[in-house]
Structure 1
Amino acid sequence: MEQGKFRRKLSLLDLTLLGVGSMVGSGWLFASQAAVKMAGGIAWIPWLFGALAVMLIGLVYGEMAAAIPRAGGFVRYPDYTHGSLVGYLIGFASMMAYSSVAGVESEAVRSYASSYIPGLDTADGNVSIWGNLFQIALLVLFFLINYWSVQVFGKINTIVTILKFVVPLLTIIILLFNFHPSNFTVTGASPGGIHGAMQGLTAGGLVFAFLGFRQAVDFGAEARNPQRDIPRAIVFAVLLSAAIYVLLQIVFIGAVPHSMLSGGWNAISFKSPFANLMETLGLGWFAVIIFADAILSPSGTGNIYLAGTARTLFAWARNGYFYSVIGKIDVRTGLPRGALWLTLLLSIVWTLPFRFSMWSGLVNAVTSATVMTYMIGPVGVAALRRTAPDLVRPYKLKGLGVIAPAAFICATWIIYWAGWQTDSLLIGFTLASLILYFAFMDRDSETRNRMRTEWKSGIWLIVYYLFVGVMSILGSFTNTKVYSIVIPNPWDTIVVGLGAIVFYYWGVASALRVPRIVEEDEAESEEESRYVASGDSVNV
């Protein structure tokens, strides 16, 4: 099969809105209530920490993506810096995390649409056959939008994301006219305080709301000017989304009628928080608009994640850990159509009506897995500074010696704060997948020799996973009655932070002596080669 190339069609605006469109999805409709129930009147603070953590991680990826723009870069870079074992583990976690989102978002659309379209749910509240068909049809629509061309996809996403901005902004303005500052002194959150704020980052979905910043990196091979635009798109997307989320949290806290807070924040239980709050305030007309946006927002996010998952699967295949047909680019359209077909199938699987006790925990685990794919970035960029000092870096991050370890510590805290129930599933599935790693890699003597060498570059990651798992049992975020808390808060968080520093420097020291950067890549073009050769730099 003749190999095509990605088409460079995406502008800075397209890349920025890819990130914003991923971050401002269905999360804004629910996360504010979840955060305030856990943290109370200080619920806006963890939003700032989440934005800071993601910004630090995004900046380190900005340097790598500008120097080596690749489709599915989050999966390619670990393989370049640390070899096959680390590349495989991060790729598997990415596949699990990414492939679930489009299906989950289609379920969210179906849930809201059931208010307008009869027959999508059964009488007992389960998904009907028609509901399942509706979800599948929506995924097929996402697939077709992506299947046509990246330019069509980019322009449709730009339009949808701009529309998605309007409703949250109007919500902020309207609720400001119903603001009660005294609400910020109300107590009764569970667990409340700083512990509640840390728990809300993961269990409340706050960090998950920011994870879409990676789209600018994953679509790097399709950016018109990746060296300049990728770092800027990351910064702009995080700042815009953070501003929206912090303001939404503040107005939600201030707009809840004081009479409803007699039982404390934990007693607040709106089914559709912002829409029901508008109805409570006598603004039913705007509640209808929010319900409509609750269909548009998840659709936009699902559409982007279906595209992003395809780039991740493509990158995994190009690394050599999956079937080669998934790593092919269509000559005519410049799209990884094989990866798009597989993404559609995986997304549909996530919507099937499985019924077993681990399902909800599994969904939480695979979405939280996204952060476990991010923590490798700070290690990788620091390793490249040491092992590839002559690599042309159009964007070179200042203060990397401080920013990279800080980003790794933040990522580790976020994983740990998810709790034992999530981490045990996540780490268990990822380590169990090593069976597939040996199956795909055990091909010839040369590959086996490479595995033995690169195992030394990856053992630190396996020990890191085990460390986080053990701390999840011993610490205060165990989220289960089976185990007693051995290390109370905040000492458990301090221990995890200190451990993260050790693993960060171990990971940097374990990198391949010569990074295995694939030069004959889909990202190369005469135009890009001229730009890189010029050595131009960009500041953010």
Structure 2
Amino acid sequence: MAQEVVTPTHGGHPLKRVVGFWGLMFVSLGSIIGSGWLLGALGAAKSAGPASIISWLIAAVMLIVLALIHADLGAAYPVAGGTARYPLYAFGALAGFSAGWVGYLQAVTIAPIEVEGAITYLESAPWAKGIDLVNADSTLTPVGLLIAVLALAVFTVVNLLGAKWLSDSNIAVVIWKAAVPALTIVVIIALTFHPQNFSQGAGGFAPHGVHGIFAALPLGVVFALQGFEQAAQMAGEARNPKKDVARAIITAMLIGAAVYILLEVAFIGAINPANVAQNWDNPLGAGAFGPYYDLALAAGAGWLATVLLIDAVVSPFGTGLVYIGTSARISYALGEDDALPPWLTSVSKRGVPFGSIVLAFVIGLIALLPFPSWQSLVGLVTDATAIMYAFAPVSLEALIRQHAGREHPYRVPWPQVLTPFGFVAANLIIYWSGFEAIWKILTAILIGRVIFEIALHRSKSLRFRRDLDWRAASWIWPWLIGLVVLGLLGRYGTGSLNILPEWVDILFVVGFSLVIFYYAVSLAMKPEDIAAAVGEDEFEFAAIDAPDADAPTAAAADAAAAGDPDGPRPPEGGGTR
């Protein structure tokens, strides 16, 4: 008989398995549909013109493949902060920390970015006239900063109330968030649509050629479509992760991709043809406020413009709400691995990682300080996201080979093709984000490595040192440094030298990615080490269905496969964590 099972933790209170399919699906979909839909289409159109539709299609294919890979991993290894755990199982503690660190940097900055995006969108609203929210350099004024701080505080309070409270409150928000873009598509296409915009504007269908199509990807396209992995991050609190996590990820990704592609079609078709007769630098014309807001007014749908202003608050609010929780789960996972301070694993009576949620709020406040605009931050977050995603396909392939006895309730189709394809896709996204973004993210990862070394020096955890496999993780820095070199020699972003010709650069990235992929898989930890790492987490992250008295648990099966018939043991010290 199935029952609610809880996850023992360092902090004494358990993470509670209370989130069902709809809660998981809406958490992922709510992360996908945020400020990206309000601002992403404009940036893509400026870069690629009508061919920006191809940019969305390319991104959708790439991210759907990565979503399928995360669905496989999330169902097979249902733990909190999954993106930090999968590389740990395959390549050890250093790889797990590297993936978790970059995933944390990505997740913890999205909530303040969403808030800033909402405030920027609302700056010129009729009722906001005379209220200075954003400075000329796109940073927040004191009033704007106060509003942003209050928003982050609300996100934090909702997360502290519990995972079920978060998922349930998020469902209503996501229904609104999905309904408004769908309504916008229908109304704009019905009232104002100019088919000639797709071929007769300046430069035709692709005014900036293939380069413009690829360059559009980091300018809000990939940022908009990211977020499907949230169901995997919360798998440790899923009621039935073996059944629900994969379905939630795939459903959310398909809905999100369809919505964004149709939004770009509607946007291109609704533009005044006169605005793009010369170029696509300013497709909305002088004095533009917000892409769909302006188009709704031009179409005579003032009521829709009002709805869009409301959504400019609701959509980023929902996404920021989820990402405060997501970043907390990742830092919780890193704390569980003893790579970050143990207080991050303290769990409240409501079953949420209290310390990690508070830390996410504090870092969010720091991110609101006078940093670059929404568009500038989006490129860096996209790069961090792609690096985080890249760890998943190589980890899955390694685990398929080295942890062959593991049950996979959902299997990614054609893994021999899609796992290397997913790794290549993530690396192409990193390359297209440009040299400047790549070296900055590499610097942030280097800072994380210093933190890791400090944790290693101070840690007394036998498990932390046991899981530290330097050889298995030795592919990571050659991979990252190679990407920086390709970015420098390539054709995208500030500082690139434009040495590699068009298309030749793509071939270099693809070839380099495949070499690193298969080299990394060859370095994966031994089956018995993987079974030990997974088995100990199985001890802590209890099975979903209460096992029969005589039935072996998944942890016991893994331990037996590793030659340990006695099964998993408690961590050192004798008690559960």
The TM-score, its normalising length taken from structure 2, stands at 0.86
Q: Which residue of 1 aligns with 2:235?
A: 220
Q: Which residue of 1 aligns with 2:196?
A: 182
Distance 2:116 2:295 in 1: 23
CA contact (8 A) 1:27 1:205 kept: yes
Query: What is the identity percentage for the equivalent residue pairs of Structure 1 and Structure 2?
Result: 29
Aligned residue among 155, 177, 182 for 2:168: 155
Aligned residue among 207, 211, 215 for 2:222: 207
Distance 1:416 1:310 in 2: 28
Once the 2 structures are TM-superposed, how far is the Cα of residue 129 of structure 1 from its aligned partner? 2.2
Once the 2 structures are TM-superposed, how far is the Cα of residue 450 of structure 1 from its aligned partner? 4.4
1:191-249, Cα deviation, whole Å (9 max, x unpaired): 622221111111x2111111110111001011111001111111101110111111111
Q: Which residue of 2 aligns with 1:33?
A: 42
Flag structure 1 segments of 5+ consecutive residues without an equivalent.
Answer: 536-540
CA contact (8 A) 2:48 2:207 kept: yes
Relative to structure 1, is the Cα distance of residues 363 and 37 closer, same or farther in structure 2, using a 3 angstrom cutoff? closer
Once the 2 structures are TM-superposed, how far is the Cα of residue 523 of structure 1 from its aligned partner? 3.1
Aligned residue among 510, 515, 520 for 1:507: 520
1:99 matched to 2:108? The reply is yes
User: Number of residue pairs matched?
Assistant: 529
Relative to structure 1, is the Cα distance of residues 526 and 473 closer, same or farther in structure 2, using a 3 angstrom cutoff? closer
1:135 matched to 2:144? The reply is no
Q: Map 1:492-531; keep pairs closer than 5 Å.
A: 492-513=505-526, 514-515=529-530, 516-517=533-534, 518-520=536-538, 522-525=540-543, 527=545
Q: Give RMSD over aligned pairs.
A: 2.6
Q: Map 1:399-414; keep pairs closer than 5 Å.
A: 399-414=414-429
Aligned residue among 336, 350, 353 for 2:353: 336
Give the secondary-structure state (helix, strand or coil) at the position aligned to 1:264: coil
Q: Which residue of 2 aligns with 1:387?
A: 402
The residue identity in structure 2 corresponding to 1:141 is: V
Give the secondary-structure state (helix, strand or coil) at the position aligned to 2:227: helix
Aligned residue among 353, 367, 370 for 2:385: 370
1:347 matched to 2:364? The reply is yes
1:62 matched to 2:71? The reply is yes
Give the secondary-structure state (helix, strand or coil) at the position aligned to 1:375: helix
Distance 2:360 2:539 in 1: 22
Once the 2 structures are TM-superposed, how far is the Cα of residue 361 of structure 1 from its aligned partner? 5.3
1:295 matched to 2:307? The reply is no
Distance 1:266 1:55 in 2: 30
Relative to structure 1, is the Cα distance of residues 156 and 359 closer, same or farther in structure 2, using a 3 angstrom cutoff? closer
Once the 2 structures are TM-superposed, how far is the Cα of residue 289 of structure 1 from its aligned partner? 1.5
The TM-score, its normalising length taken from structure 1, stands at 0.92
CA contact (8 A) 1:186 1:265 kept: no
Q: Which residue of 1 aligns with 2:208?
A: 192
Deviates more, 1:373-382 or 1:483-492: 483-492
Q: Which residue of 1 aligns with 2:568?
A: none
Distance 2:473 2:217 in 1: 29
Relative to structure 1, is the Cα distance of residues 528 and 146 closer, same or farther in structure 2, using a 3 angstrom cutoff? farther
Distance 1:317 1:534 in 2: 24
Distance 1:529 1:101 in 2: 39
Aligned residue among 303, 308, 319 for 2:326: 308
Flag structure 2 segments of 5+ consecutive residues without an equivalent.
Answer: 1-9, 556-577
Give the secondary-structure state (helix, strand or coil) at the position aligned to 1:372: helix
1:324 matched to 2:342? The reply is yes
Give the secondary-structure state (helix, strand or coil) at the position aligned to 1:207: helix
CA contact (8 A) 2:47 2:212 kept: yes
Q: Which residue of 2 aligns with 1:17?
A: 26
Distance 1:428 1:451 in 2: 27
Give the secondary-structure state (helix, strand or coil) at the position aligned to 2:361: helix
Higher relative contact order (CA 8 A, sep 6+): 1
Distance 1:309 1:208 in 2: 16
Once the 2 structures are TM-superposed, how far is the Cα of residue 430 of structure 1 from its aligned partner? 0.8
Relative to structure 1, is the Cα distance of residues 294 and 532 closer, same or farther in structure 2, using a 3 angstrom cutoff? farther
Q: Which residue of 2 aligns with 1:281?
A: 299
The residue identity in structure 1 corresponding to 2:428 is: W
